[in-house]
Amino acid sequence: MKRILKVVGITLLVLVLAALAYTYVSFNYYSPEDPDVQVDQQKLSYFRDSWQECRSAFREGAAALKEKVGQGALFSVQVESQTDDDLTIDFCYIPALDTTEKLVVIISGTHGIEGYVGSAVQQMLMTEFFQTDMFDDTGVLLVHGLNAWGFKHQRRFTENNVDLNRNFSTDRSLFDTKNDGFVALYDLLTPKGEVNMNSVGNRFFMVKAINQIARKGMPALLQAFAQGQYQYPEGIYFGGQDFEQQKEIMSEVLERIGGNYNIILNLDLHTGFGERGQLHLFPNPVDDPQLKQTMEAVFDGYPIDWGDSDNFYTISGQFVEYIGDLFPDKVSIPMAMEFGTLNTSTTVGAVKSAHISIVENQGTHYGYKSEKDSLKVRAGYYEMFYPPSEKWRTNAITVSKAMIGDIWENFEEL
């Protein structure tokens, strides 16, 4: 018995020391290793410093693609805002030339700040990837900056603090969805007051997180954190209590364009979750065996995390699934493609990601104790969603071009 107690004591001591070590390195020194690639300035040229620059580059690339193909439509839809009269979602539509069998929809900026990487990928596709003969039987619809306000103001969320990727459905019962795990962790996930990164709560965040992991397990914690919640407008991953305007905008565009096609492949570009430098495929679990088989054929050669593993979570109100709900009589293939940044499959990476999200949300609502606190949180937010590393960015373009090329070929063979 004494030996067992000794082992338990040593284990707890190791956990506490690990937590203290995390406290020391969390925002100052934690830096996951970048992919071992050669920096490519051509690939880096697709990354921009502002939403306005991204939008201009997208419009220029779309116009050039339309001219190269010889047909297409470029258009913008105004996004209403209480503070900004120059927000738009921009579209580039190149129709299939011979048939209207297949359509590929590629979306950036569903999560605001993540649109910087998504926009870079879309620019690369328009400049390097798309060729006229690719559109004989397959059309493409590029959606730039779905969450324009969050993109411009460098947040994941809309002006109403709504996570758009928890806000899409054909059924209003979405807003009755309960997330009991979030309610149980409300105090941990939604601290009040100005952000002070030197506070006891922030310095010992890992200790609190490890305690919750020990009690509930990592899968339950991830689900509570990221599933989406509809009760607390001030909280993270708030899915709203009504539909955001993007639902109506996208419904009109998709019904007008997508209604002409029989099979629709929906690729939504994200950053943050997963292993750094890897482009992950993260759908929700799929119950329909025929759809699952079709998805495995389209993404053949790449591992798919079906949302039922210990290191993932399921999502309510996801945009790519909404496209399928909008067209119940069509084949709709939903896929979130996520560029990993902080190695969230590890405990340290997962907890750091959660900590960054929590303090950024707190700072948005309550402000910061000092400019230093604000800068520290913003730097962490960038590292999580728009890493400045030139190796990471080079790799993101290289990997996405190769994967989307394979996906396109597999899709055309359906």
Q: How many CA atoms lie within 13 A of 380 on its CB side?
A: 26
Q: How far apart are CA 99 and CA 265, in angstroms?
A: 16
Domain residue ranges of the chain, discontinuous segments joined by +: 31-179+227-341+387-412
205-259, pLDDT tens digit by residue? 988 888 887 787 777 777 888 889 999 999 999 999 999 999 999 999 999 999 9
104 beta partners: 140, 265
Two structure tokens written together for 316? 């309510």
Phi, psi (deg, nearest 5) at residue 338: -125, 125
Q: Tell me which architecture the domain covering 31-179+227-341+387-412 has in CATH.
A: 3-Layer(aba) Sandwich (3.40)
2-46, pLDDT tens digit by residue? 454 444 455 555 555 555 555 555 555 567 889 999 999 999 999
Phi, psi (deg, nearest 5) at residue 162: -95, 135
Q: How far apart are CA 328 and CA 18, in angstroms?
A: 50
pLDDT the model gives residue 77: 98
143-157, pLDDT tens digit by residue? 999 999 999 999 999
Nearest residue to 157 via CA among 360, 387, 316: 360
Two structure tokens written together for 44? 């880096």
Q: How far apart are CA 270 and CA 334, in angstroms?
A: 13
Task: Check whether 63 has a pLDDT greater than 80.
Answer: yes
Two structure tokens written together for 253? 């565009």
Average pLDDT estimate for 299-305:
95
- Parallel, antiparallel or unpaired: strands 279-281 and 331-340: antiparallel
- Parallel, antiparallel or unpaired: strands 88-94 and 73-78: antiparallel
pLDDT the model gives residue 31: 73
- In this structure, are residues 146 and 109 in contact, taking their beta carbons and an 8 Å threshold? yes
The proportion of the chain whose per-residue pLDDT surpasses 90, expressed as a percent, equals 77
